[in-house]
Structure 1
Amino acid sequence: MVAFRAARPGEIETIRALERASAQRFVGLMDALAADEPSPAAVLAARIGTGGLIVAVDGDDLVGFVMFRTVEDHAYVEQIDVLPTHAGQRIGAALLDVVSGRAWATGLKGLSLSTFRDVPWNAPYYRWLGFVDVANTALTPGMRAIREEHRARGLDEDARVFMTRKN
């Protein structure tokens, strides 16, 4: 049975390893992304400090996580990963529901994220979970700032889309 809880500082390297394992789905599709370094330990530690890092655990094993922060009036999902061995069990969807509940409890309107438009386990999957695309002409100042952060990291923003979902 998978349970969800706040991440702990001692789990940072396990979370980074999980992110590396999950990125292997991009081999052959986006090799540079598959080889990219996981989230920096300092960023993970900061999110743990603000309650913005939730993990999924199956027994003693950490099998997924979601990292988020408040951007304007939404909980912005920065990263979500599930171990390939646990794919297809709706763990990612459940992690998003946990974040949605926390967003609602703190008065936020919903979730937002930025993802690859045409990767089957990205935008199409999020649409299936109730997210809707945000037109480029409707991006908020916070979304535009995130887009610039992504460009600075070398992400192809032309291949990405912002999406939102109400709580």
Structure 2
Amino acid sequence: MQIRPALPAEFPTLQAIEVASGEPFRAHGMPDIADDDPMPLDVLRGLHVWVAADPEPVAWIAAEPVDGYAHVEQVSVHPDHARRGIGAALLDHVQDWAAARGLRGLTLTTFRAIPWNAPYYERLGFREVAEPTPGLAAIVAAEAARGLDPAERVCLRRSPQQGV
């Protein structure tokens, strides 16, 4: 599996992977999440995006600097390739990218109780953020404005020494 920067021509494929990776939410009583639109192409173009390819993309991650951290906007692994460590490898790749740019680690927001969300990230060394930075608080507010319940969401952070 090769991790490399995404090519703009691959962005529609990344949207399809995101849609497929959202389908398991339906079984957890979250059909609105499963039916949510993928990240728009213009948003993808404004982020740092990498793919895990074999040889075509099967997973991807997008990040941007926020308040001195690399904020992970999205991680999507196609269900046909889940549970193989691909998501963890993508996170480690972004952690290395962040460190090379002097960023202090990774942040992300996710669902608190979904097994492949917060519990998964906690196994990978992420910890809950008690006091979100202004940029992270703005991300949470934007999620709430899109209809995501802040009580179901959690902000997580991983510093380089927290990685596994």
Paired residue for 2:124? Answer: 129
Paired residue for 1:55? Answer: 51
For residues 41-73 of structure 1, give each alpha carbon's deviation from its aligned partner in whole angstroms, at most 9, with x where no partner exists. 1011222xxxx10000012x2100001100011
For residues 107-159 of structure 1, give each alpha carbon's deviation from its aligned partner in whole angstroms, at most 9, with x where no partner exists. 00000001111100000000000000112xx1111111111110111111110
Distance in 2, matches of 1:57 and 1:140, equals: 33
Distance in 2, matches of 1:93 and 1:21, equals: 18
Paired residue for 1:10? Answer: 9
Distance in 2, matches of 1:106 and 1:139, equals: 21
Percent identity at matched positions?
46
Q: Could you list the runs of 4 or more consecutive aligned residues of structure 1 that deviate by over 3 angstroms after TM superposition? A: none
For residues 61-111 of structure 1, give each alpha carbon's deviation from its aligned partner in whole angstroms, at most 9, with x where no partner exists. 210000110001100001001010001110000000000000000000000
Deviation at 1:26, TM superposition (A): 0.5
Deviation at 1:28, TM superposition (A): 2.9
Paired residue for 2:139? Answer: 146
Paired residue for 1:26? Answer: 25
Unaligned 5+ segments in structure 2 are none
Q: What SS is found at the alignment partner of 2:46?
A: helix
TM superposition score normalised by structure 2: 0.95
State yes or no: 1:40 paired with 2:15. no
Paired residue for 1:162? Answer: 155
State yes or no: 1:68 paired with 2:66. no
Unaligned 5+ segments in structure 1 are none
Deviation at 1:38, TM superposition (A): 0.2
Q: What SS is found at the alignment partner of 2:122?
A: helix
Q: What SS is found at the alignment partner of 1:151?
A: helix
For residues 2-30 of structure 1, give each alpha carbon's deviation from its aligned partner in whole angstroms, at most 9, with x where no partner exists. 11000011011100011001000101321
